[in-house]
């Protein structure tokens, strides 16, 4: 998968996320403490609401519509109303930029 | 069903999730649509969404403590009229207050710690005579498609409003037997057509297991009544769902009653009402209902702050329950003659344009 320069690290607050659109798909890039970053699909698997307005807390993102929760490290759906996992993609930081490997 | 049809006022539209209105809503683009949300700075919202265990631990300790105390004293005084005030309070804590605990913990916002939300959610679901699995999905749908006819399973004020049923439900006379029958049906391994519409296949076995646990507790309660030759066990478990629900209806029916159907803007179909601290404790701040629907991730203890942040974009809140009901009562009586009548909240100058949705009903 090609690696893409997605954004500056400073574009994302700590314990927060940023929407990133690429090709015909949409993703969510998360920043935890320091330079720890993750990338998942952008849409909640329950009703396809974008996670961009969601809450990031303790490696969990919560969907803004129904409070469905996913582990951002693995994409695992953590219980109703979400049952299907999110896709996850490798992400890293280099020289203050966030790079993600996307299909 | 036969008895129910005798007290049901005929309706133009079907509120069933499997009827023609459901298809119509989907075709019109009202299902799972984008809803208006009052603008709020992301950093401010993040601060409001922040979770904490402390407020809910305090409120839960008070709630459970009062529940045990009033139930215990009521049981000790059983047979005397002195038991009555204790059972009145016990009933309200059991049924009316449990609804808001069920609601907040179902959203997972009351506590920061997940298992605490889940534990109180299960207890409150039992007290409310609700299958915790089925109702989690039902409420998710209510948030996706709030007051969209044919989509929202939690519309309590249909048009024309079912005033006989609503009146009887102040003492749970229709709703509690319906809830009990639903759990009994679930315990037998069956879901109704509406339940099957919103509960995914993978969750159904768990719904059946939960229903069986609930029915087992009711069976033990019934056996205790027979063994002791007294209805006291049922006065503590089960019957409070009837005699203690009235306050929930007083506070909860105004959430949406009399307002628009089929719009995509919670400012048009929901109502915020100022209430005193005691009622807000029972109701866990769900009186800030417009705000809750716009931003369901904000925990109950921050809803007053969210209200301050968005109130200039919303219709003025009702100043009291009394004021809200004074607006609602003439409206619902008029709806008996004219089911198309509803209340149009007046948005303040400078507020975001109302989102009437593809049916444009509120703009008529």
Q: What is the dihedral of CA B227, B229, B235, B237, to 10 degrees?
A: 10
Q: What is the pLDDT of residue B257?
A: 95
Instruction: Tell how far CA A79 is from the center of its chain.
Output: 18
The minimum CA-CA distance between B51 and chain A, rounded to whole Å, is: 9
**Cβ of residue A41 closer than 8 Å to a chain B Cβ:** no
Q: What is the pLDDT of residue B241?
A: 97
On average, the pLDDT of chain A sits at: 93
Query: Which residues on adjacent β-strands are paired with residue A92?
Result: A99
The minimum CA-CA distance between B106 and chain A, rounded to whole Å, is: 9
Are A66 and B49 an interchain contact pair (Cβ–Cβ within 8 Å)? no
What tokens does B222 get? 């019934």
Q: What is the pLDDT of residue B364?
A: 46
Query: Which residues on adjacent β-strands are paired with residue A21?
Result: A26
Q: What is the chain A residue with the closest CA to B138?
A: A81
* Other residues' Cβ atoms within 10 Å of the Cβ of residue A14: 12
Contact B160, B12 (CB under 8 A): no
Q: What is the chain A residue with the closest CA to B299?
A: A67
Where do the domains of chain B lie? 41-363
Q: Please count the CA atoms within 13 angstroms of the CA of A85 that sit on its side-chain side.
A: 9
User: What residues of A are in contact with residue B46 (Cβ under 8 Å)?
Assistant: 13, 16, 55
Rounded alpha-carbon distances, angstroms, from residue B113 to B63, B104, B108, B109, B282? 18, 13, 9, 9, 21
Residues 6+ apart with CB under 8 A from A23: A102
Q: What are phi and psi of A93, to 5 degrees?
A: -115, 135
Q: Which 3 state secondary structure label does DSSP give B201?
A: helix
Q: What is the pLDDT of residue A91?
A: 96
User: What residues of B are in contact with residue A13 (Cβ under 8 Å)?
Assistant: 43, 46
Where do the domains of chain A lie? 3-101
Q: What are phi and psi of B227, to 5 degrees?
A: -65, -40
The minimum CA-CA distance between B284 and chain A, rounded to whole Å, is: 18
Q: What is the pLDDT of residue B357?
A: 79
DSSP code string of A56-89: EETTEEE-TTT--EEETTT--B-BTTB-SPPPEE
Closest residue to A47, CB basis, from B51, B112, B144:
B144
Mean pLDDT, contiguous 10-residue spans, chain B (364 residues): 76 87 91 92 92 97 98 97 98 97 94 95 96 89 91 87 92 95 96 87 93 98 98 98 97 95 95 97 97 95 97 97 96 92 94 83 50
User: What residues of B are in contact with residue A44 (Cβ under 8 Å)?
Assistant: none
Contact A80, B107 (CB under 8 A): no
Q: Which run of H or of E encompasses A101?
A: strand A97-101
Closest residue to B109, CB basis, from A48, A54, A67:
A67
Q: What is the pLDDT of residue B363?
A: 47
Q: Which run of H or of E encompasses A17?
A: strand A16-22
Give the mean pLDDT of A32-45. 95
3-class SS letters over B131-191: CHHHHHHHHHHHHHCCCCCCCCCCCCCCCCCCHHHHHHHCCCCCHHHHHHHHHHHHHCCCC
Q: What is the pLDDT of residue A82?
A: 87
In this structure, of A46-55, A69-78, B345-354, the range with the lowest mean pLDDT score is: A46-55
Q: What are phi and psi of B71, to 5 degrees?
A: -65, -45
Architecture of domain A3-101: 3-layer Sandwich (2.102)
Rounded to an integer, what distance in angstroms lies between the CA atom of residue B330 and that of residue B182? Answer: 33
Mutate to test the interface with B, among A30, A55, A63, A69 (most CBs of B within 10 A): A55
Q: What is the pLDDT of residue B27?
A: 92
The minimum CA-CA distance between A94 and chain B, rounded to whole Å, is: 26
Q: What is the pLDDT of residue B360?
A: 62
Q: What is the pLDDT of residue B293?
A: 95
């Amino acid at each position: 998968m090609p690696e893409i320069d997605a954004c500056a690290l400073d574009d994302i607050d700590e314990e927060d996320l940023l929407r990133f659109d690429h090709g015909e798909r949409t993703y969510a890039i998360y920043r935890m403490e320091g330079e720890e970053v993750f990338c998942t699909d952008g849409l909640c698997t329950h009703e396809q609401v974008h996670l961009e307005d969601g809450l990031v807390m303790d490696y969990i993102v919560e969907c803004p519509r129904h409070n469905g929760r996913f582990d951002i490290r693995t994409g695992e759906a953590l219980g109703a109303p979400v049952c299907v996992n999110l896709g996850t993609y490798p992400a890293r930081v280099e020289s203050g930029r966030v790079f993600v490997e996307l299909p | 069903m036969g008895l129910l049809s005798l007290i049901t006022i005929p309706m133009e539209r079907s509120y069933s999730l499997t009827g023609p209105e459901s298809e119509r809503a989907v075709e019109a683009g009202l299902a799972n649509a984008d809803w208006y949300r009052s603008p709020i700075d992301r950093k401010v919202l993040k601060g409001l969404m922040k979770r904490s265990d402390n407020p809910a631990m305090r409120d839960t300790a008070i709630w459970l403590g009062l529940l045990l105390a009033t139930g215990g004293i009521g049981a000790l005084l059983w047979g005397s009229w002195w038991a009555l005030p204790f059972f009145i309070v016990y009933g309200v804590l059991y049924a009316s207050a449990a609804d808001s605990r069920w609601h907040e913990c179902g959203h997972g916002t009351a506590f920061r710690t997940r298992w605490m939300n889940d534990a109180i959610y299960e207890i409150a679901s039992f007290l409310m005579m609700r299958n915790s699995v089925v109702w989690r999905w039902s409420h998710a749908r209510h948030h996706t498609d709030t007051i969209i006819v044919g989509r929202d399973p939690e519309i309590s004020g249909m048009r024309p409003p079912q005033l006989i049923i609503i009146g009887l439900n102040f003492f749970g006379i229709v709703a509690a037997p319906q809830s009990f029958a639903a759990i009994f049906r679930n315990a037998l391994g069956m879901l109704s057509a509406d339940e099957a519409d919103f509960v995914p296949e993978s969750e159904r076995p768990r719904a059946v297991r939960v229903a069986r646990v609930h029915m087992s507790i009711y069976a033990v309660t019934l056996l205790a009544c027979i063994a002791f030759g007294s209805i006291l066990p049922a006065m503590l478990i089960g019957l409070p769902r009837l005699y203690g629900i009235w306050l929930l209806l007083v506070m909860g029916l105004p959430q949406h009653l009399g307002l628009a159907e089929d719009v995509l803007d919670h400012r048009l179909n929901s109502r915020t009402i100022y209430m005193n601290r005691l009622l807000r404790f029972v109701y866990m701040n769900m009186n800030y209902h417009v705000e809750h629907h716009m931003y369901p991730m904000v925990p109950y203890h921050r809803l007053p702050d969210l209200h301050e942040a968005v109130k200039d974009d919303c219709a003025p809140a009702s100043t009291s329950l009394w004021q809200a009901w004074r607006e609602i009562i003439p409206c619902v009586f008029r709806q008996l003659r004219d089911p198309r009548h509803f209340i149009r909240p007046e948005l303040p100058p400078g507020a975001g344009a109302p989102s009437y949705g593809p049916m444009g009903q509120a703009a008529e």
